[in-house]
Amino acid sequence: MKTWMRFAAVGGLSMSLLLAGCGREEAGTAEGPGESIADGPAEGDITVWAMGAEGENLSVMADAFMRDNPDANVKVTPIPWDGAHDKIANAIAAGETPDVALIGTTWMGEFARTGGLDPTPADLIDETSFFDGAWDTTVVDGVSYGVPWYVETRLLYVNKDVARAAGVDKPAENWEELADSVRAFQEEGGAEWGISLQPGGTGAWQTVMPLVWQNGGDAYDGDQFTFDSPQVVEAFDYYRAFFSEGMSPTDLPEGSLEPDFIADKIGAFVSGPWHMGVLADQDAADKYELWHMPNRQAATSFIGGGDLAVFKDSKNRDGAWKFVQYLSQPEVQVEWYAAAAALPAVEAAWEDPVLAQDPYLAAFGEQLTDAKSPPTIATWEQVAAELDSGLEELAKTDADSTEIAGVIQEQATSIGAGD
């Protein structure tokens, strides 16, 4: 009894202390661009976190940077993509961040809103040197919080043999032609499935948002969500038809996309540049051709990749931004492509023969000039999860597109944009 009372007293006390300190301040005024950094070579320790293959290869670039800046010491810590989001969130919460980190483009909105990212200094980097879609991923509420580092976009991988058998000899120009080509792949080309589109589930929005953009729609207009707009519903209908007409599988077993594509069972699929490597590893580098996204009002694709951000808690702000600036020079971006096969975010880097003379890469480079990213709102990942599960219903049930769009709109609105 006594013990309980003591516990209750301690609990009550800490509760009231907490309550006294609580209450959210009204959202502060928007930040402006960051202050300029000092001139001259970089100095001191610069710690960098980077994920995946980028993390493993970045030390090559760090060495080159340190040759130019002998007083700087860049330490790269590779971290796995899996735990990266939480690790960065924890670092921001604890105030123990690295100086620079690679941030997935769809995380920018969330992390910028924690107040943990340093706004990009105004005069540091020429924003017009990047692909528009790539730069947009760094801009949250009109302020840039980082610099695009590498990009990826999506194209149609089309099975050459199936296309030839189907008598399709040129890329589809618009939505109707794409649907006709896919139907031909299946009916005359001998493919079991004309195309393989992701049937909802995690990341399916990356397949469908481009259709929305092509149709002149968007997910968010800066003020509210627009999933129930006619443009979105129409894009949903177009996506759904591939499944309802039996042209795309709804339950393709994991790992069978590539073997089925190589065995002419699948006519086409939508994917990013990494599939060039996957198919080359399976001796199918000549099996496919790459098609630009079909045109409707636009021929937009999805742009993803990674941005480099500097943290407010950085102990070496000047050095950190100098390293970021170094990595965004065109010639360094080309070297980076050679080291890690990451596509340059700087447009000028694509004029280098290494990239310009490879027809497959050139196709990606061309698509990048018309590629968009989702809105940089803090809750995008959560909204996207709702979108993904709505798309799954669209692909697997006979639910109505308007109805699904309405449900997604309602859920997105209740989630809000996070401000």
Tokens of 245: 């007409």
Closer CB to other proteins, 307 or 392, in the complex: 392
DSSP reduced 3-state for 117: strand
Nearest of 292, 310, 311 to residue 300 by alpha carbon:
292
The residue count of the chain comes to 419
Q: Any idea which residue has 């990212």 for tokens?
A: 117
Query: Two tokens at 155?
Result: 């194209």
Residue 325 binding other proteins, by CB under 8 A: no
The candidate with the shortest Cα–Cα distance to 146, out of 118, 111, 124, is: 118
Question: Nearest approach, Cβ of 204 to other proteins (angstroms)?
Answer: 11
Check residue 24 for interaction with other proteins (CB under 8 A). yes
Q: Please pick, from the candidates 6, 8, 9, 11, the single residue that binds other proteins as defined by CB under 8 A.
A: 11
Could you say which of 16, 202, 224, 297 contacts other proteins (CB under 8 A)?
Answer: 202
Give alpha helix (H) positions in 271-344.
Answer: 274-281, 317-327, 330-340
CA–CA distance from 350 to each of 9, 154, 304 (Å)? 67, 17, 17
Which residues, 82 to 111, sit near other proteins by CB under 8 A? 85-86, 89, 92-93, 95, 110
Residue 389 binding other proteins, by CB under 8 A: yes
Q: Based on the shown chain and the rule CB under 8 A, indicate whether residue 191 belongs to the binding site for other proteins.
A: no
Considering only 382, 400, 406, 413, the residue that binds other proteins (CB under 8 A) is 382
Burial (CB count within 10 angstroms: exposed 0-12, middle 13-18, buried 19+), residue 262: middle
Nearer to other proteins, 133 or 374 (CB): 374
Which parts of 22-51 fold into alpha helices (H)? Answer: none
Q: Does 265 bind other proteins (CB under 8 A)?
A: no
- Asked if 418 touches other proteins (CB under 8 A), the answer is yes
Minimum distance from residue 410 beta carbon to other proteins (Å) = 10
Contact 217, 315 (CB under 8 A): no
Interaction site with other proteins (CB under 8 A)? 11, 14-15, 18-19, 21-25, 85-86, 89, 92-93, 95, 110, 113-116, 200-202, 250-251, 253-254, 256, 378-379, 381-382, 385, 389, 392-393, 396-397, 418
